[in-house]
Amino acid sequence: MDVIEAMETTRAIRYLKPDPVPRALIERVIYAATRASSPGNSQGWDFVVVSDRATKERIGPVLRERMLPMVQAMPAPPGMVGRMLGGAQHLLRSFEDVPVWVFVCGRKVYPPGAGTEQMMLAALYPAAQNLIVAARALGLGSTFTTFQLAAEAEMRAAMNLPSDVSIGVCIALGYPDRPFGPVARKPVSEVVHWEKW
């Protein structure tokens, strides 16, 4: 599978089998993440890999309490939005059953001596994207979440994060329980502007 084919079929996979993921595969996708670009080659990323059920049990109930009612209250029309909301509900209900959670974290290390959040995120998001594309190429499903927005304090405590480390994105990772498929994206002709807007 070439990289374009992987990108074309890196659909958000919110339904994952509970089967464990071999450590070698997890290390492989994190290796791919660390091949990403970063401002000034700062590489200000770290990855917390959580597969221990006890740790997940400290976080899952908090997420369900805070997020599930909100997600359930959102209108779920037929089609892509409805499927996405249904998948989000499933992911919240099965947080502990997701085999691996990868928390893409970072520090404000760039520019040197005056690191900013914008530069930190400019490193974390490309790394996270590399990770999910590599996962797809290796037959693993994944999805980005912003669950840290609802339970950051509990996540920080469960993972013993230092105070100067931020969580950029939470990625669910495992073997897919639903098929991969094409991503729904606008055509390039609708989003490209040649020379000026």
The answer to whether the beta carbons of residues 44 and 34 sit under 8 Å apart is no
Whether the CB-CB separation of 173 and 101 falls below 8 Å is answered with yes
The amino acid present at 143, given as its one-letter code, is T
Residue 133 lies in a domain: yes
- Cα(8)–Cα(182) distance, rounded to whole angstroms? 6
Residue pLDDT tens, the chain, 197 long: 888 999 999 999 999 999 999 999 999 999 999 999 999 999 999 999 999 999 999 999 999 999 999 999 999 888 989 999 999 999 999 999 999 999 999 999 999 999 999 999 999 999 999 999 999 999 999 999 999 999 999 999 999 999 999 999 999 999 999 999 999 999 999 999 999 99
Q: Is residue 186 one of the residues assigned to a domain?
A: no
In a domain, 187, yes or no: no
Its domain, for residue 156, covers 3-178
Structural domain count of the chain: 1
Q: Indicate whether 188 belongs to any domain.
A: no
Residue 25 falls within a domain, yes or no? yes
Q: Name the residue among 51, 42, 32, 59 with its Cα closest to residue 133.
A: 32
Q: Please say whether the beta carbons of 180 and 9 come within 8 A.
A: yes
State the CATH number of the domain containing residue 25. 3.40.109.10
In a domain, 192, yes or no: no
In a domain, 195, yes or no: no
Query: Is 197 inside any structural domain?
Result: no
CA–CA separation, 109 and 42 (whole Å): 7
